[in-house]
Structure 1
């Protein structure tokens, strides 16, 4: 049996992963050799530009089938990853004479820190000046994307709890893409970001120790809702995961693309797409693009996301696409009245027993009062809701989850 992309489906979340709040990687982290990683070879500017061009062309090749295969929507938040995917798709449509991609946008009306309207308008304006672009579809968001709101509840009925727990935000986009394809910028944080770190000798020295010793020397993980033994095990697994940062770029990309988190997340969104009669593509995970990106990163010194995107664009895209800007704070849109109500009436006995046994429930409820569940494992709320044993949202075919999408985005 395989999922929608032909991969074997990942194993279900373990009790520890549910208690922690996300997928956890195994502890088979490399050791010692990391601290001996050498500096990248000296490479000419022309060779760097050649490798950057090859990576850009691989990304263009990754989006082309979606554009050629019918109606193609691009999930567009205004963030750097989705802006880059949309810009590449628009450039491919222009040069190949294909129908232009249609940006689909979630526009937050009552969450100022989540709103990226100004950035969206700037990027879309620049892309229109660069060539044809499909008329944007704008979904206006009030409370609908509350973590325990109508969209999340429908996801729970369709496919159950997912990782990351806010995966339900893709659901209205996938319903709008029914019969066609939705392209996302998923993966940018893992694959494009994180290559600009410079590590102190102490960090490399710790990574050369046996994993258990490094884990014990690290500051304790901020997981007060877990029982001590569960917290220690998470600390060890998170320490192993943290060691990936020191890997050479190509090895890090391989680890990130094949990680349990990635496989669980991709399988979840593919299941949702199937239920919505839509296809979904994640160009940043295209294997040829990742190979070419690894070739480029192999010869670069540490580089942050903004200059890396600028290098990949190579002057082919409007400058605003690769400009740095603050990330939106989406928790403001997720943690609203429905979540507060669900938190107030949370019954830990609705959780599986093996999950419940890993929790310090009093501490969990205290943390939820102080921080809110979105910042401290709201997955537990979804698991509890999904175990009620009866449908928790209307499931009429293609029932609108949000107000109808409207054209225009400035």
Structure 2
């Protein structure tokens, strides 16, 4: 459950803070009828942002942000709007984050004249100066990276801000994708047949299998046993609720509290800097059109979906790429490391979390953003702020 405070932000429960995720679903609503194609609906979601120029697009070079930037550029040229301005955060020295080649491929393909690249690695530290100032003003909220956005937003003129948030979900696999692949004639492997068969099982059986096969290695690094079991139960409960049909599964994304919280909190933060926020890949009109276009079976997977929607605006190499950057190290700077080393263990719920193991995660070679809310809670406690 997510509770809304008296301020502008939505907060998580103690368990959600401990795991770095928002559980649950919003009430069901029927899939709307629409005659719009997915791209037409995406244009509808983007048009207000372009009309509110300057229109900035957060651009990492990944497939989601590239698709949003390319579709927005195409719409701007067709309708005579000012071109969108890509905005990229660069992290010198962190190879896992380097998307320079992919970024340049997209920018050159779109022939965009303006591109803002901000090189400020310490500003992305979850306990850097900007994040601490934001934490004191706004408190703990998900996603934690919101607290690092201030320096970048402060460089931008008032206007609109588009993101590619939600692309992994909206453009990615569905519960029934394995069945769709088989239906389209792919030679069946044992893994594909197993996946397809599992997705046909009743909810209770799928829930049991999902929890039985839960991968080990992330949340068990710092959660206590009871909290880990409850986390796995809540995650499984949300996953197995997804309908089998592609259209119903796509519209199901609109019910996820995690996305509703992300959109709400990022919007509240951006608005404070004079930026009107837009997340077109999570727009309900786009989701409805994508659902209707896919029908019962949908697409063969992420690349097939990208090809169907964006082949006219993106290079084939971008549509088909299988790599993805990682930004976990980008959010751990000197401020985080110094605090973690000196931390006295206060500010986190020790019924849920093993404080010493949590410190080890913060200082390890494999940090994770899943512990970011705990980091912020601990730091605020050290400042005498609940």
TM range (shorter): 0.7 to 0.9
Task: Tell me by how many angstroms 1:16 deviates.
Answer: 1.1
Output aligned runs, 1:242-253, within 5 Å. Answer: 242-244=239-241, 247-253=244-250
1:306 aligns to what? 303
Inter-CA distance 348–206: structure 2 relative to 1 (3 Å threshold): farther
Higher relative contact order (CA 8 A, sep 6+): 1
Q: Is the 8 A contact 1:190 1:256 kept in 2?
A: yes
1:332 aligns to what? 329
Whether 1:380 and 2:374 are equivalent positions in the alignment is yes
Q: Give the gaps of 5 or more residues in structure 2.
A: 1-6, 29-34, 179-194
Instruction: Quote the Cα distance in structure 2 between the aligned partners of 1:210 and 1:304.
Output: 21
SS of 2:368's equivalent? helix
Q: Give the gaps of 5 or more residues in structure 1.
A: 1-7, 30-50, 392-410
Q: Is the 8 A contact 1:122 1:320 kept in 2?
A: no
Output aligned runs, 1:196-275, within 5 Å. Answer: 197-198=177-178, 199-202=195-198, 204-205=200-201, 207-209=203-205, 211=207, 213=208, 217-219=212-214, 222-224=218-220, 225-244=222-241, 247-275=244-272
Task: Tell me by how many angstroms 1:103 deviates.
Answer: 0.9
2:185 aligns to what? none
SS of 1:143's equivalent? helix
2:136 aligns to what? 157
SS of 1:303's equivalent? coil
Determine which of 172, 176, 184 is the counterpart of 2:155.
Answer: 176
SS of 1:284's equivalent? helix
Determine which of 55, 69, 74 is the counterpart of 1:91.
Answer: 74
Instruction: Quote the Cα distance in structure 1 between the aligned partners of 2:356 and 2:381.
Output: 21
2:99 aligns to what? 116
Give the length in aligned residue pairs. Answer: 355
Output aligned runs, 1:371-410, within 5 Å. Answer: 372-374=366-368, 377-389=371-383
Inter-CA distance 341–290: structure 2 relative to 1 (3 Å threshold): same
Task: Tell me by how many angstroms 1:388 deviates.
Answer: 4.1
SS of 1:377's equivalent? helix
Instruction: Quote the Cα distance in structure 2 between the aligned partners of 1:177 and 1:299.
Output: 43
Determine which of 288, 292, 296 is the counterpart of 2:289.
Answer: 292
Instruction: Quote the Cα distance in structure 2 between the aligned partners of 1:108 and 1:366.
Output: 24
Inter-CA distance 175–360: structure 2 relative to 1 (3 Å threshold): same
Instruction: Quote the Cα distance in structure 2 between the aligned partners of 1:184 and 1:28.
Output: 25
What's the TM-score once normalised by structure 2's chain length? 0.82
> What whole-Å deviation, never above 9, does each CA across 1:123-148 have from its counterpart, x for those lacking one?
100101xxxx3511110133321222
1:46 aligns to what? none
Q: Is the 8 A contact 1:306 1:323 kept in 2?
A: yes
SS of 2:201's equivalent? helix
Instruction: Quote the Cα distance in structure 1 between the aligned partners of 2:372 and 2:201.
Output: 35
Task: Tell me by how many angstroms 1:277 deviates.
Answer: 1.9
Task: Tell me by how many angstroms 1:63 deviates.
Answer: 0.9
What's the TM-score once normalised by structure 1's chain length? 0.77
Inter-CA distance 84–138: structure 2 relative to 1 (3 Å threshold): same
Task: Tell me by how many angstroms 1:161 deviates.
Answer: 2.3
Task: Tell me by how many angstroms 1:302 deviates.
Answer: 4.6
Instruction: Quote the Cα distance in structure 1 between the aligned partners of 2:358 and 2:315.
Output: 47
Instruction: Quote the Cα distance in structure 1 between the aligned partners of 2:117 and 2:40.
Output: 29
1:71 aligns to what? 54
Inter-CA distance 10–342: structure 2 relative to 1 (3 Å threshold): closer
Task: Tell me by how many angstroms 1:320 deviates.
Answer: 4.9
Inter-CA distance 250–342: structure 2 relative to 1 (3 Å threshold): farther
The root-mean-square deviation of aligned C-alpha atoms, in Å, is 3.0
SS of 2:122's equivalent? coil
